[in-house]
Chain A
Amino acid sequence: MNRRIPQILGALALVGLSAAAFAAGAVEGEVQKAKATNWSAIIMFFAFVGFTLGITYWAARRTQSASDFYTAGGGISGFQNGLAIAGDYMSAASFLGISAMVFDKGYDGLIYSIGFLVGWPVILFLVAERLRNLGKFTFADVASYRLAQTPVRILAATGTLVVVALYLIAQMVGAGKLIQLLFGLDYAVAVILVGVLMVMYVMFGGMLATTWVQIIKAVILLSGASFMALMVLVSVGFSPEAMFAKAVENHPKATAIMAPGGLVSNPIDAISLGLALMFGTAGLPHILMRFFTVGNAKEARKSVFYATGFIGYFYILTFIIGFGAIFLVGTNPSFLDDAGKIVGGNNMVAVHLAKAVGGDLFLGFISAVAFATILAVVAGLALSGASAVSHDLYASVIKKGKANEKDEMRVSKMTTLVLGVLSIVLGIAFEKQNIAFMVGLAFSIAASANFPVLFLSMFWKGLTTRGAVIGGFIGLTSAVVLIVFGPTVWVEVLGHEKGSELFPYKNPALFSMTLAFFSTWLFSVTDSSRQAQEEKGRFDAQFVRSMTGIGAAGASKH
């Protein structure tokens, strides 16, 4: 029995490790510039940009009120929102990264993608509809529902902005490198292009444009990936058995790719990272915001159902693509360099497969899709950051809920512009930096600062403002401090000697989440102020609304 323990931990570690690679959310490390400028890709990319700017123009004319700007007037259907949520999840990194992992390790790539899917059903069963019934524009609406507005909004806005900033920097750096590789454009040019387009979508088209850009991208990415998987299946006469046989024949690891492999790392780290990913997803502000774009709880539920279906389908496609690449890309000398390695690195196998099955034109299409994917994701991030500043900080904290709607939207648009400039500057500044820890940190903070407060505000009557604020800030600071003192930043970024790190684990969520929940509980139960009594007294009304939707913000009329 005892001998089994290391194996379990090893299996968990595998899931955790691979999740780390996925969560990195970007193409890492040095990349070589594409040899020639890829014209068909550039033309198709500009067709996408032209089309989405047309949508932005259409959306801008329909975006009049704050509700239009933040949540597309609540008029997105469950199906559309499901596609948009799936779009937020199907990043360029997951498309290129998972297919690369299947190409390299086979079955382990499947295990890797599964860890990401299982958080979604849990979000549906416990969070989605309550969130929809209680909130209006941001998740802070829910967290601060029966608590003191000023401190809780400041906490939620801080959590949002830190997560958005880390995520944005990682995406910008990844975008610059990917575009350099795919299109042969200069890094700085690519970063500026992404920043400018992001600002245009969000500033003019608000959530309506941001959602449609995400939907269109999800549809073209799913179509492109479906075509590639189909061509792989065609090449083997639609026999999975023949596909696996051919892959095994052409892979250096042979039959080992058909069975679970053995990546073993620190088990505590693996568990900790698993927690961060599962509950971090339920604390990511740009994902949570999507639940306010649908009309009611029924549509919110449907969104998660469709999103889970699309994400699951996408992972199955990447599995087929990765296996197909083993014998369609790995054996083709035109995709290998002199040393026999994949040109551009393993992350490029899906792109090479596009060329192998669809020629230069389809290669251009897939490259354009990869770029479009980054644009869609950064637009959602920018909108969520802008909402935290205008709705939570400006309208609720500074103006005490009495802000003029026009002023609030002006603040939001100004913030979008500032975020655009900042992300370009930081994207360029961080080009040569090691940013691999940033998305992991973003997930840890989302799981340790945003999620506990949000979850307890909906499920625990005893939560008070004091508990929420102290617990939330402890979660936030402990996640940051433990990451900085851990091996990823202390050794790899700050360059201290290996083994000198003050905190032994790469991922802090297990500790910072526990600390956040514990301190939120402790400072709530010891809070005997009159305000705390009143806050607990308001729980029943909140609970009735969260269950029935009585009084919930509806869709605006158009």
Chain B
Amino acid sequence: MNNEEIVARVQANPKFQELVQKKTGFGWMLSIVMLAIYYGFILVLAFNPSGLGASLSGGITTVGIPVGLGVIISAFVLTGIYVQRANGEFDRLTQEVVEEARK
């Protein structure tokens, strides 16, 4: 079976369409979430810097400290969420598409 046939069979497979839709959509969605978190942080820096500078619970530690650390942690967590779903669900779908194309 030549490459063109494989490509045609993969494209005709509804599972491939499902994979493309899910993976691409999920990737763009998480990208937008990351950018929203980051630019949200920037907006707070601009609109309400004193809010970030306010005391967290009466002490020296300010609200900005957990917020800033939160942005760092969110980047890590978002990559974790993507990897979890991609290495599970998406890879299973990919595997099925590949096997069906080679039958």
A: which residues have CB within 8 A of B?
A: 4, 7-12, 14-15, 107, 110-111, 113-115, 117-118, 120-122, 124-126, 129, 240-241, 244-245, 248, 255, 258-260, 262, 298, 301-302, 304-305, 308-309, 312, 315-316, 540-541, 544, 547-551
B87 touches A550 (CB 8 A): no
What separation, in Å, do the CA atoms of A114 and B38 have in the docked complex? 8
B38 touches A118 (CB 8 A): yes
A305 touches B69 (CB 8 A): no
Out of A107, A115, A248, A540, which one reaches B11, CB within 8 Å? A540
Chain A residues, CB < 8 A from B42: 8, 11-12, 15
Q: Output the least CB separation between B44 and chain A (Å).
A: 9
Closest residue of B by beta carbon distance from A78: B83
Q: Output the least CB separation between A129 and chain B (Å).
A: 7
Q: Can you show 13 pairs from A to B with CB atoms below 8 A apart? A: A11-B46, A12-B42, A110-B68, A114-B41, A121-B79, A125-B26, A240-B65, A245-B59, A258-B60, A298-B86, A312-B72, A312-B75, A548-B16
Chain A residues, CB < 8 A from B16: 544, 547-548
Interface of A is mostly: helix
B: which residues have CB within 8 A of A?
A: 3-4, 6-7, 10-11, 16, 19-20, 23, 26-28, 30-31, 34-35, 37-38, 41-43, 45-47, 49-50, 52-53, 59-62, 64-65, 68-69, 71-73, 75-76, 78-80, 82-83, 86-87, 91, 94, 97-98, 101
What separation, in Å, do the CA atoms of A262 and B23 have in the docked complex? 40
Residue pairs across A and B with CB atoms within 8 Å: the count is 161
The 4 A-B residue pairs with the shortest CB-CB distance, nearest first, are A259-B53, A8-B46, A11-B45, A11-B46
Interface of B is mostly: helix
Q: With A260-B49, A305-B83 as known contacts, state yes or no: A8 contacts B4, CB within 8 Å.
A: no
What separation, in Å, do the CA atoms of A111 and B71 have in the docked complex? 10
Q: Output the least CB separation between B53 and chain A (Å).
A: 3
A111 touches B82 (CB 8 A): no
Chain A residues, CB < 8 A from B11: 540, 544
Q: Output the least CB separation between A459 and chain B (Å).
A: 9
A118 touches B45 (CB 8 A): no
Q: List 16 additional contacts besides A4-B46, A11-B46; criterion CB under 8 Å.
A: A7-B49, A15-B42, A107-B62, A117-B71, A124-B79, A126-B27, A244-B59, A244-B61, A298-B87, A301-B86, A301-B87, A304-B83, A305-B76, A541-B3, A541-B4, A547-B23
